Structure 1
């Protein structure tokens, strides 16, 4: 089962304050542990929302609205993420608890969310097979 570990933004991360070398080293060690365990699918830090773009759909059938950042409420923003593939919810929590304080300032917060699998959304075998086929094609494209 896949889980996303969402690293919440802080006022410092939104201000573009970069982590110190000690935190970078700790995060690199953690990343290495995830890779060696064979569970890391993806993970990256994100630029502040001042460099972001938000697209919203204000009304059904209406045109999308594009707004440039920055966005307010740092506590609702994301500074980074990991996508992991583990055997259980408990294992996902264990890995999240091992992560160093993501900001190194005692303000770190991680939200853990399970990713929907095709089987969670439908029992239609054709849809499930198509999703698996698209996932396989995506992996093949990355290897080219």
Structure 2
């Protein structure tokens, strides 16, 4: 079962990488966690995203397309980073997320979403 593990953005993550001591310590801890995931054969890919101020959205309305510049409102609804994992079930994904270092200096959330597989469409 493949899942996308989504690190939700916070006001801190929307400020961008500031090269603080906390960020350096978190990156080291997260690197170790990613090594554990890789060693367990679970990690398929992982990345962090730059703040939404550097992003764009394209809104669709029939044949029309409108480009919207960031930053975007509702920080809690934004994504700051993600992993793609291959786990046996949702319980295994939850167990791994519980082991994850807190990706933010304060309260944060990580969301787990299963990916569609071809078998879902048969």
TM-score (norm 2): 0.92
Among 39, 42, 53, the alignment partner of 1:39 is 42
Q: Give the distance between the partners of 1:14 and 1:84, measured in 2 at CA.
A: 25
Q: Give the distance between the partners of 2:28 and 2:83, measured in 1 at CA.
A: 17
Q: Is 1:68 the equivalent of 2:69?
A: yes
Q: Which residue pairs with 2:10 in the alignment? A: 10
Q: How does 1:110-121 map to 2 (within 5 A)?
A: 110-120=110-120
List alignment gaps of at least 5 residues for structure 2.
none
Q: Is 1:77 the equivalent of 2:78?
A: yes
Q: Residue 106 of structure 1 aligns to a residue in which SS?
A: coil
List alignment gaps of at least 5 residues for structure 1.
124-144
Structural RMSD (CA): 1.1
User: How many residue pairs are counted as aligned between the two chains?
Assistant: 119
Greater length-normalized contact order (CA 8 Å, ≥ 6 residues apart) = 2
Q: Give the distance between the partners of 1:6 and 1:88, measured in 2 at CA.
A: 17
1:113-140 CA-to-partner distances (Å, cap 9, x unmatched) read 00011111x21xxxxxxxxxxxxxxxxx
Q: Give the distance between the partners of 2:4 and 2:96, measured in 1 at CA.
A: 11
Deviation at 1:62, TM superposition (A): 2.3
1:44-92 CA-to-partner distances (Å, cap 9, x unmatched) read 01000000010111x3x32121111110111000000000000011001
1:1-54 CA-to-partner distances (Å, cap 9, x unmatched) read 001110000001101144521111110000000100011111001000000010
